Amino acid sequence: MAETMIGELAALGAAISWTVSALFYRKALEEASPISANIIRLTLTGSILLLLLVFLGKLAVLTTLPLELVLLASASGIIGLGLGDTLYFMSLKWIGVARAVPLTCIYPLFSVLWAVFLVGERITLAVVLGAVVIVLGILFLGQDSQANTTYTRKALIVGMVIALATAAVWSVSITMMDVAVKESPDIDHALIINTIRVITVAAVLLASSPIIDRKLGFLKVRKRTVVALIAGGIAALGVGWFFLSYSFTVTSQARAVPISSTTPLFSTLAGILLLREKVTAHNVFGSIMVVVGIFLLFLV
């Protein structure tokens, strides 16, 4: 019982960490492109995490991991942190923190869809009701309102589509992460697996930068933007993903994932108080509905 509670608190810590990171990312994206920002964030954060493993004397744990787990963690990183987070940055740039974060955090809905259509799990009333509440929440988030004085209708539509695509990609990455962590359920392996995800995708993005970032924009970003990306990377990749990885070792995914997806509640408040984003009752109510719908999905 105590371990389960610790796991739930860790998942909540992940949600708060991701809220903090979104604030840093939003500022950084005022200058850097999503691709450039992701290359900087992953490369520098991955280097810091690797140095931390060396400092803690945990690098030897890597040799105890089966090759298939290393490959699974690497694939999870490329999908979730490479593709998913680049889409996430794009959505932040198009529609801001208060709208983008709630939409990207419906990834548990996609996880349920994978379970239903790929694994053949039974659809229950809670699943149907949760899906309906989430869709209604999305509609509220997309309502024309006072916030449209900041974001055009085109920006809202494009940003919302990108945010939904982010959620779908993240759900695949999180499922793979859960499988990898469950195979070696302890805090050291959770730390190693999380680091593998980051350094693998960092290496892939750096190697492909002449193609995906042709002007090598990541080399021309100002220092204060780099600092913001490092701070956001440590909060999200170092702290947030470690918390989620650890929560998978002591509690079920059905408990951890919906708790980690409560980020919209924190991000909506942060968007109002810190970024001065024009958030209306539609945004607040929509965020709450998305989170309530997610919890309904996991009452089975």
Residue 300 has pLDDT above 60, yes or no: no
Average pLDDT over residues 189-207: 90
Residue 78 has pLDDT above 60, yes or no: yes
Q: Locate 175 and state its tokens.
A: 């499922």
pLDDT in tens, 165-189: 999 999 999 888 888 877 766 778 7
- Averaged pLDDT score across all residues of the chain: 83
Q: Which residue has the tokens 């989620």?
A: 244
| Cα–Cα dist 121/125, whole Å | 13
pLDDT in tens, 260-272: 888 877 777 776 7
More confident residue, 124 or 239: 239
CA distances from 54 to 80, 104, 115, 235 (A): 25, 34, 38, 20
Q: Going by C-beta distance under 8 Å and a sequence separation of 6 or more, which residues neighbour residue 58? A: 188, 191, 192
Q: What is the pLDDT of residue 118?
A: 66
Q: What is the pLDDT of residue 299?
A: 61
Q: What is the pLDDT of residue 79?
A: 95
pLDDT in tens, 34-48: 999 999 999 999 999
Residue 145 has pLDDT above 70, yes or no: no
Residue 245 has pLDDT above 80, yes or no: yes
Q: What is the pLDDT of residue 144?
A: 47
Q: What is the pLDDT of residue 42?
A: 93
Average pLDDT over residues 99-127: 75
Q: What is the pLDDT of residue 123?
A: 67
